[in-house]
A and B are shown apart, each in its own frame.
Chain A
Amino acid sequence: AQKITQTQPGMFVQEKEAVTLDCTYDTSDQSYGLFWYKQPSSGEMIFLIYQGSYDEQNATEGRYSLNFQKARKSANLVISASQLGDSAMYFCAMSLTGNQFYFGTGTSLTVIP
């Protein structure tokens, strides 16, 4: 069963605009972590932001914020003021107790000048 779902295979955004990348997750655990990673064309995986299941406030890291809606089981990534360097694949991931880590299939973001 798919534990992380990213429904947007590709997204386009104008430079300097904000963009939201969707992520929904599936778990019955009470304790879990949600993460976003960026994978540029060079291939490395870059950690962006995380949200703990017990965190009441949405996580923010610079231009990245995580819109966490626990009841809807969604953890969308919001990138504000997009830059050309934001063009990349973005992966949503979830960690569960028992050391399992699940990734979504990714969203390819293209920033248009």
Chain B
Amino acid sequence: NAGVTQTPKFQVLKTGQSMTLQCAQDMNHEYMSWYRQDPGMGLRLIHYSVGAGITDQGEVPNGYNVSRSTTEDFPLRLLSAAPSQTSVYFCASRNTGQGVYNEQFFGPGTRLTVL
């Protein structure tokens, strides 16, 4: 089991560029999510998905798009990067079988810098 994988680990973009952060999990989890971590702010939920074809917004969705075409993959798209999107991005997944009582498993993170 690889768990939750993310690529790339590091990325530098120029303002206005677009890119996709990849996330995959091999645990057959229905729930997947994206967070950003900024100094002093903890982790904030960007978008989440409860299954293929179903996505919803979290706390800070602006500037990001997601889609979920398979159970395994949940990519995060930045259509026009801004310096305010410089952050560390984490993807996570969990089983939804016990509702609120399941922990999330996190990927190793992607450190993104927007110049």
Contacts and interface: CB of A to CB of B under 8 A. Distances in A.
Contact of B100 (A32, A104, A105, A106): A32
Nearest to B109: A43
A101 B53 CA distance: 20
Interface in A31-52: 31-33, 35, 37, 43-45, 47, 50, 52
Given A105-B41, A106-B42, A97 B108 contact: no
Interface of A: 4, 31-33, 35, 37, 43-45, 47, 50, 52-53, 91, 93, 95-97, 99-106
Interface of B: 31, 33, 35, 40-45, 48, 50, 56, 58-59, 88, 90, 92, 96, 99-106, 108-109
Contacts, number: 61
A38 to B, nearest CB: 11
Contact of A35 (B48, B90, B103): B103
A102 B44 CA distance: 7
B42 A105 contact: yes
Interface centre among B41, B99, B105 (most CB of A within 10 A): B99
The list of the 7 closest CB pairs from A to B, nearest first, reads: A45-B106, A103-B42, A33-B100, A103-B43, A95-B100, A105-B42, A47-B103
A31 B88 CA distance: 30
B91 to A, nearest CB: 11
Contacts of A102: 45, 59
B53 to A, nearest CB: 15
